[in-house]
Chains A and B, each alone.
Chain A
Amino acid sequence: MSQTLTSLLEVSIDFDQSHLFFPKLVVTLLAGMLLLIAVIHRARLVEIVRTRGAGLAFFEENADKFRLFSTVGLIVIYFVSMDYVGQLFPNTGLGFLFCSIAFIAALSLVYVHEVTRSVLLVIACNALIAPLAVWYVLGSLFDITLP
């Protein structure tokens, strides 16, 4: 009896294949748990299927889709252009500096609700000063690599 128990617990792992052992275990556990969750909440699942997903709203009520998608869009443009401009001036961090100025200005304009002259001034100053300060202090003084 005790012998079978010990042999049950025995696991031999071949070093060459050891990279797959733990991921397999995790994936199995994940699948098992997903099944368990589905079984426990089956009533709700049935309900969702029956109503064809009505009452399931991904976005909040009155979601501000303009601001949400502009944020995602601007970030994508920011990252792509930063890498591109950075390539034009290698190892200077200028790609980061120029693109950050544009990005901060644009995103601030997306987010702001009441545009007044003084708000615009704040946005403009912020868009100029913040990236410049970061670029100078971190990029030049501390010699941190920037795009």
Chain B
Amino acid sequence: MDFISLLSPEYFLLAAAGSLVGIIFGAIPGMTATMAVAVCLPLTYSLGLHEGLALLLGLYVGGISGGLVPAILLNIPGTPSSITTTFDGHPMAQRGEAERALKICIVSSLVGGLFSAVILFLFAPLLSDFAIKFSYVEKFLIIFFALTVIASLSSNMLVGIFSGMIGVFLSLIGTYDVGVGGNGEYRLMADFMVPYLEEGFSLLPVLIGLFGLATIFLEAERGAKDEVGEKRIQLTQGTPFKLNVFRGQFVNMLRSSSIGTFVGMLPGIGGSAASVLAYSQQKNFSKDPSKMGKGAPEGLIASESANNALTGGALIPLLSLGIPGDSTTAVLIGAFTLQGLQVGPLFIGENLDTWYSMMIGLVFANLVMFGIMFFAIKHIAKVVMVPKYVLYPIIIMMCVVGAYAINYGIMFDVWTLLIFGLFGYVAQKIGLEIAPLVIGFILGSSAEVYFVKSLESFGTLSIFFTKSPIAIVLWLMIAASVLFSVYLALKARRNSKSRAIEV
């Protein structure tokens, strides 16, 4: 246990500092955990291995958590994985329960983060052997499973699925990237678009355009008035936060954290799939699914515990296979190589000290994240009180910074922001549903790769059913999820009809 001697005060200080900076990055719409880790990577040159890792782990945990703040307060997901947090978080903030929503999320984040850290510590090598059993076929089914959330999320199922397909369509524009196994050919664009759309639309500008700018356009149309008098949001209004909100949510937390860890563990499945899956499963299991999406704490719990559980999950393949589980851990690999350390299947066994110190850093960063956020919330929540004429221009400016920086300085990403801002505005006017569209966009390109690659390798559609027992289990889950959301939709329709008759 001589690794304890490696943990200096600076170690803890850096983990805490990382956490704080990460939260700030995550909280700015358009800035992500990945970016936080990437910009701080050069700092680790001069730090020792353990200190450097502490800083980066802090940034990672903080960055993922920080995303919940704008999701709740501004209805803009700070990071792609906090998209489902907006569904219930923002309605709560509008009811004046911003502080309560934030606190629920922070507690859930802590639980998810710690849960995944424990799983990582105990089962990493075991789970990585399980993860490599997921080939193209199984990965496609996971993505497909996540896409079924569209059915349960939309208010009109047909329109919802249609919107989701539009999202998928938009995600396909550009090159069929060789980096993911494509053939590098262009599709779905005219020649004049090539210089701009060669690499397609970037996810983050699309996301903040659809959520951030579109909302601002809608508000501008309404005159950007600040509510005055009684209608003005009061922070003390609504239900205050009490721990008993978690009563009966234990299963939800456990399920969502497991989903988060599991999805994080599979390389090549984006992190946003985690919170989307957790959210839809909670909706299927919920006692009162009709409340979800209108400000239900259970939705927040599902979303946030899942997306923080990603952190530990994504570290599993990194540390036990040398393969990053998501985009942020891909940057972490750089930190290891800079220090002359190689990650791979033998990493843990050969670097026990580093392994233990990383685990401590991860747990500590989660605790610091919780501490900082929980006590800063009172002040953060005041953002909703800032008058719109001050707030909106700043939001637009921050979105620009984020969009420009996401691919290290590409002006077209800034224009993407405007294109999708206007598109989101118009789409809402003509009745398309934004949430399914975004989910389609996020998952579309991986759905393509895994679907086409499965067929390319096996040459028959039957492979989706016969590949492995895992595939069959996934199909059963997909079927259950779809049937259940159809049942819920029918029930909701019957209810509204009978209510209409009563009136």
Contact = CB atoms under 8 A, between A and B. Distances in A.
B411 A108 contact: no
A9 B220 contact: no
A33 B411 contact: no
A134 B404 CA distance: 13
B454 to A, nearest CB: 10
A35 to B, nearest CB: 11
B158 A79 contact: no
A23 B452 CA distance: 11
Contacts of B452: 13, 18, 21-22
Nearest to A22: B448
Given A13-B455, A23-B172, A131-B397, A18 B182 contact: yes
Given A112-B389, A143-B39, A145-B409, A18 B183 contact: yes
Contact of A71 (B168, B169, B182, B220): B220
A48 interface: no
Interface string A36-53: 110010000000000000
Given A21-B452, A33-B165, A64-B221, A108 B397 contact: no
A79 B415 contact: yes
Interface in B59-87: none
Contacts of A9: 460-462
A6 B460 contact: yes
A30 B166 contact: yes
Interface string A113-147: 10000000011001100110010001000111111
Contacts of A63: 221-222
B401 A96 contact: yes
A138 B447 CA distance: 35
Contact of B224 (A96, A111, A143, A147): A111
A27 B192 CA distance: 21
Contact of B187 (A23, A60, A70, A72): A23
Interface residues of B, number: 62
B166 A75 contact: no
Nearest to A36: B158
B127 interface: no
A108 B390 contact: yes
A75 B418 contact: yes
A4 interface: no
A26 B444 CA distance: 10
B221 A59 contact: yes
Interface in B373-414: 388-390, 392-394, 396-398, 400-401, 404-405, 408-409, 411, 414
B217 A68 contact: yes
Contact of A144 (B172, B389, B401, B429): B401
A144 B162 contact: no
Contacts of A96: 400-401, 404
Nearest to A9: B461
A33 B400 CA distance: 35
A6 B389 CA distance: 63
Interface in B202-253: 213, 216-217, 220-226
A28 B132 CA distance: 34
Contact of B222 (A13, A64, A126, A130): A64
Interface in A72-86: 72, 75-76, 78-79, 82-83
Contact of B390 (A11, A71, A123): A123
Interface in A53-101: 58-60, 63-65, 67-68, 70-72, 75-76, 78-79, 82-83, 96, 100
Among A18, A37, A60, A78, max chain B CB count under 10 A is at: A18
A20 B213 CA distance: 32
B221 A123 contact: no
Given A64-B223, A130-B394, A11 B162 contact: no
B389 A16 contact: no
A122 B390 contact: yes
B408 A145 contact: yes
17 contacts: A9-B460, A13-B459, A19-B187, A22-B451, A23-B187, A29-B165, A37-B158, A64-B221, A65-B221, A79-B418, A104-B394, A111-B388, A138-B405, A142-B39, A143-B42, A145-B409, A146-B401
Interface of A: 6, 9-13, 15-16, 18-23, 26-27, 29-30, 33-34, 36-37, 40, 58-60, 63-65, 67-68, 70-72, 75-76, 78-79, 82-83, 96, 100, 103-104, 107-108, 110-113, 122-123, 126-127, 130-131, 134, 138, 142-147
Given A20-B185, A79-B414, 11 more contacts: A12-B459, A22-B172, A23-B187, A30-B166, A58-B429, A68-B221, A71-B216, A96-B400, A96-B401, A104-B394, A130-B394
A-B pairs with the 7 shortest C-beta distances? A19-B176, A111-B389, A145-B409, A64-B223, A9-B461, A104-B393, A19-B185
Interface of B: 35, 39-40, 42, 158-159, 161-162, 165-166, 168-169, 172, 176, 182-183, 185-188, 213, 216-217, 220-226, 388-390, 392-394, 396-398, 400-401, 404-405, 408-409, 411, 414-415, 418, 421-422, 429, 447-448, 451-452, 455-456, 459-462
